[in-house]
Chain A
Amino acid sequence: MRVGLFIPCYVDAFHLEVGIATLELLERFGLDVEYPYDQTCCGQPMTNTGCHAESAATEALFVRNFAPYEYIVTPSGSCAHQVRFNLDAIEQTEEVKQVRAKTFELVEFLHDVIKADAFPWAEFPHKVALHNNCQTLRGLRVASMSERREEAFSKPINLLSKVKGIEFVHLARPDECCGFGGTFSVFEEGVSAKMGHDKVLDQHQSGAEYVTSSDSSCMMHQQGCAERLGMPQKYIHIAQILNGARS
């Protein structure tokens, strides 16, 4: 299975270890993973700000880079959400439609496509709080949400439960947005930071040693807030835990 690896811009720049873990993890399942060199971004910063026309060339480049692959996998739910639901500033050719349909966030790809049922190399004997990115939760529907009356389920918990030694802690407001919100984090900085401070306080109160998420963008914001408030919890991408990171 030939998989195109999409490493979002902020992971490329700030989270080398997340990129490596995603690549290695996919390779552990015998997949032929390739990183197309000319990739940049999914267009979300512009679309998120309402500037769809400004996003068109970036979206076209994304499709050119990833059209050759059977699947496109990315360690970011919000980017996968952008591609699947909002990549519409360009003409919707058959090629564009296919790229959109075969782009997956890492957890849903492992859970639904290759149906990963064991991570024997992984062990993480720590107290962990899970943070679901809002688009991953309510857009990609990787887990049940507290707003709806529905059967409880969680794809990330299903996967993480297979990791030896892991212990989950529960937040008072598990589904509450952390306030990152893409360009919201800089254009509406005051509310964004306040939401982040409340979120990391909740995580700290829950007794979490680590916070994990399938989205580095939320965690980049949360880590910045936690460091500012001097809170001890650490942030680690779900790919790293599943790939066998010990701490």
Chain B
Amino acid sequence: MSENPLLHRDLLDSGPPEGMTRGGKRLDHAEGTSTPLRPKVREPQPRGARIRGNRPVDQSEAANRFIAAPEHEKMHDERLWDLRQKRDREMHGIPEWEELRDLASAIKEHTLTHLDAYLEQFETNARANGVQVHWARDAGEHNRIVLAILESHGAKRLIKSKSMLTEECDFRPFMAEHGIEIIETDLGERIQQLDDEAPSHVVVPAVHKLRADVAQVFAEKLGSDPDTEDVHYLAETQREATRPLITSADAGMTGCNFAVAETGAVVVCTNEGNADLSANTPPLHIVSAGIEKVIPRLDHLAVFVRLLSRSALGSPMTQYTSHFRGPRAGGEMHVVLVDNGRSERLGMEKFWPSLKCIRCGACMNTCPVFRRSGGLSYGATYAGPIGIILDPTFNAHKYSKLPFSSTLNGSCSNVCPVKINIHEQIADWRKVMSETHELPLMKKAMMKAAGALLASPALYRAALPLADSALRHLPRFIIYNRLNAWGRGREVPHAPKQTFHQWYKENRGREK
């Protein structure tokens, strides 16, 4: 491979290590494509946003720390960009791609505008299949319902597949307080659980970690060798440690990608088969489902299944698309339908289309800010473009700064398989923050001053020559000081001798 400084240096190593190839070809499926990374000097893993009670989360502070860890930042950017490119290749293989996006968006909009009817249809059909259906108004109610089910079975250990909804509900800490042991069965999520860190991405939860970071976590928590970063060794260590806990678990939990109203079935998509492991190993299966996950018919599922994994990982389909229609013989199946702010969001004129989201993470993979910041920099359940339009619906003050962590470039809206106008909603959230006095005072004052200046030709003209003469004459150390946000990473523009306005007056002076 040629010397290309655009690539992470570990990508340039001659032959990939054993296990990354099969039959001479690089393994090329989904999460299996993690890049072999062997930093020569171990760079500590940058941690996420600093949470200080209800104070606004400072994403850019955490992003700067992520960028200051170049091994991590470069790997993260390239790994997610690789997913984006694979997604593009899959898209080009489907002539009707844009039509599928239109259909997916239309199905979701239709369902959301008839949500009550489809939820009741789902409930009726699920009950007819022998499933017990519960309704939870919020996170607390969800957690209490699940706890009550577990207690009624005397269950002490719960194995679960990945679910963003349970992250919303702070499910693991709640269960720990009540003496229930939780084992995550998704490998990435398990790594995050062992590291006591939230998932940084909705699909690839540990994507911000290097192999060295994982080796470190496993060494501390599972007693493996901290200096062995071989993926097979690490995976095997984890498997050996966790498998006995899984096989002897009392209860299993999964999330829900789609709840089909006409059949009452719950559909879960995974690449590791861990939803099946969680649902089928113990006799008790509990499903945590957001109310926006319902779709009317099984036919509609075909549209989403074609879009989901292509958008998420650039693979044609997830390895497993499991339909759970009822309890196993002698077992029990429960579905907890959770609102947790969704009804309120449905009533928000500008923001209700965010409920169309199928949590594929394509907007995160394509977002140039996300790729350079890491998902934990957002300090919220949801990160990246979709996160910064969802999080403020949970807490507008705490997440008031997040909508500014975007360049409004619009790539997110155009990769979104359900056509959420993400970047427009980001701009709309900025307006809401400004109108509800959530902007920092200095920012607001600057905009007031700019607005006054730019509304007055006389003031504007008076300000301009001053500005450029200042730039021309100030010594460099004043322009490039710590307070100068422009100059820290860039040179300032060179001001010409004249403004265009002055030139036009002198050369074309048709004064009216």
| A residues adjacent to B (C-beta < 8 A) | 7, 9-17, 19-20, 23, 34-35, 37-41, 43, 45-58, 60-61, 86, 134-135, 138-139, 145-150, 172-173, 175-177, 179-182, 184-198, 201-202, 205, 220-221, 223-225, 227-228
The reply to whether A37 and B94 contact each other, CB–CB distance below 8 Å, is no
19 pairs, CB–CB < 8 Å, chain A vs chain B = A14-B468, A40-B454, A40-B460, A41-B454, A46-B447, A50-B403, A58-B454, A138-B411, A147-B414, A173-B81, A177-B407, A181-B407, A181-B408, A189-B485, A190-B488, A193-B489, A194-B67, A196-B490, A227-B490
CB <8 Å contact, A191 and B411: no
Task: List the B residue with the shortest CB-CB distance to A54.
Answer: B451
Which chain B residue has the least Cβ–Cβ distance from A186?
B485
Taking the closest CB of chain B, its distance from the CB of A221, in whole angstroms, is 7
Stretch at the interface among B157-165, B282-290, B347-355, B430-438: B430-438
Give the Cβ gap from A120 to chain B, nearest Cβ, in Å. 24
B439 touches A195 (CB 8 A): no
Residue of A whose beta carbon sits closest to that of B439: A50
Determine the chain A residues whose CB is within 8 A of the CB of B73 once the complex forms.
194
Residues of A within 8 A of B457 (CB): 37-40, 61
CB–CB B430/A50 < 8 A: yes
Smallest beta-carbon distance B330→chain A, Å: 48
Query: Is B321 engaged at the interface, CB distance under 8 Å to the other chain?
Result: no
Among candidates A13, A40, A47, A146, residue contacting B455 with C-beta atoms closer than 8 Å: A40
Bound CA–CA A38/B455 (angstroms)? 10
Given contacts A13-B467, A179-B368, A201-B6, contact A189 B496 (CB under 8 A): no
CA–CA, A15 and B500, complex, Å: 8
Nearest chain A CB to B76 CB, angstrom units:
12
Binds A, one of B192-200, B203-211, B504-512: B504-512
Flag if A134 contacts B407 (CB, 8 Å): yes
- Verify A186–B486 contact, CB threshold 8 A: yes
CA distance A20 to B429 in the complex (A): 38
Given A54-B447, A194-B73, 4 further pairs, Cβ under 8 A: A47-B427, A50-B430, A57-B455, A201-B5
Residue from B404, B439, B448, B468 within 8 A of A188 (CB atoms):
B404
Distance (Å) between the CB of B153 and the closest chain A CB?
47
Instruction: Provide the residues of chain B in CB contact with A194, threshold 8 Å.
Output: 67, 73, 372, 489
Whether the pair A57, B411 counts as a contact (CB closer than 8 A) is no
Number of interface residues of B (CB under 8 A): 81
**Is B231 in the interface zone, CB < 8 Å from A?**
no
Known: A220-B493, A224-B492. A134 touches B409 (CB 8 A): yes
What's the least CB distance linking A192 to chain B, in Å? 8
In Å, the complex CA distance between A17 and B430 comes to 34
A49 to B456, alpha carbons, bound, how many Å? 20
Closest B residue to A189 by beta carbon equals B485
**Contact, CB under 8 Å: B499 / A12:** yes
Assess whether B451 is in contact with A49, with CB atoms less than 8 Å apart. Answer: no
Q: Please report whether the interface of chain A is mostly helix, strand, loop or mixed according to DSSP.
A: helix
Instruction: Please indicate which of the listed interface residues A86, A145, A189 has the most CB atoms of chain B within 10 Å of its own CB.
Output: A189
Contacts of A48 in B (CB 8 A): 408, 427, 430
Cβ–Cβ contact A16 & B503, under 8 A: yes
Looking at the assembled complex, report how far the CB atom of B228 sits from the nearest CB atom of chain A, in whole angstroms.
32
Interface flag for B224 (CB, 8 Å): no
Q: How many A-B residue pairs have CB under 8 A?
A: 234
Which of B411, B464, B503 is within 8 Å of A19, CB to CB? B503
Assess A190 versus B64: contact at CB under 8 Å? Given A45-B447, A134-B408.
Answer: yes
Q: Please, which residues of chain B bring their CB within 8 A of the CB of A202?
A: 6
- Using a CB–CB cutoff of 8 Å, the interface residues on chain B facing chain A are 4-6, 60, 63-64, 67, 73, 77, 81, 88, 91-92, 94-95, 97-98, 366, 368-369, 372-373, 403-411, 413-415, 427, 429-435, 439, 443-444, 447-448, 450-457, 460, 464, 467-468, 485-486, 488-496, 498-501, 503-505, 508, 510-512
Whether the pair A196, B503 counts as a contact (CB closer than 8 A) is no
Residues of B within 8 A of A172 (CB): 6
Would A58 and B64 count as touching, CB distance under 8 A? no
Q: Which residue of B lies closest to A14 (CB)?
A: B493
**Is the contact region of chain B dominated by helix, strand, or loop, or is it mixed?**
helix
Check if B411 sits within 8 Å of A175, measured CB to CB: yes
Q: Are B410 and A225 in contact (CB under 8 A)?
A: no
| Residues of A with C-beta under 8 A to B464 | 12-13
Which residues in B have their C-beta under 8 angstroms from that of A221? 490
Taking a contact as CB atoms under 8 Å apart, the answer to whether A149 and B407 are in contact is no
Q: Are B491 and A227 neighbours in the complex by a CB distance under 8 Å?
A: yes
A176 and B5 CA atoms in complex are apart in Å by 18
Query: B434 is contacted by which of A38, A50, A192, A198 (Cβ under 8 Å)?
Result: A50
Tell whether, in the assembled complex, residue A57 and residue B410 are in contact, meaning their CB atoms are under 8 Å apart: no
* B495 contacts A14, C-beta separation under 8 Å: yes
Contacts of B403 in A (CB 8 A): 50
Distance in angstroms from A59 CB to nearest chain B CB is: 9
- Shortest distance between the CB of A227 and any CB in chain B (Å): 4
Question: Which residues from chain A contact B405 at a C-beta distance below 8 Å?
Answer: 188, 191
Q: Which residues of A contact B404 (CB under 8 A)?
A: 49, 184, 187-188
Question: Contact: B499 with A49, CB < 8 Å?
Answer: no
Closest to A224 in B: B490
**A58, A147, A172, A176: residue with the most chain B Cβ atoms closer than 10 Å:** A147
B491 engages A135 (CB within 8 Å):
no
Alpha-carbon gap, A147 to B198, bound state (A): 29
Q: From residue A164, how far is it (CB to closest CB) to chain B in Å? A: 28
B451 with A46: CB separation less than 8 A: yes
Distance in angstroms from B73 CB to nearest chain A CB is 8
Looking at the assembled complex, report how far the CB atom of A231 sits from the nearest CB atom of chain B, in whole angstroms: 11
A221 to B406 Cα, complex, angstroms: 16
Establish whether residues B451 and A57, one from each chain, have CB atoms under 8 Å apart when the complex forms. yes
Which residues of chain A come closer than 8 Å to B455, judged between CB atoms?
40, 57-58, 60-61
Residues of B within 8 A of A86 (CB): 427
Q: B451 touching A51 by the CB < 8 A rule?
A: yes
Q: CB < 8 Å: which of A39, A191, A205, A223 contacts B63?
A: A191
Query: Do B67 and A190 touch (CB < 8 A)?
Result: yes
Chain A residues whose CB sits within 8 angstroms of the CB of B495 once the complex forms: 13-14
Q: Check if A176 sits within 8 Å of B368, measured CB to CB.
A: yes
Residues of A close to B369: CB separation below 8 A: 188, 191, 195
Nearest-neighbor residue (CB-CB) of B507 within chain A? A20
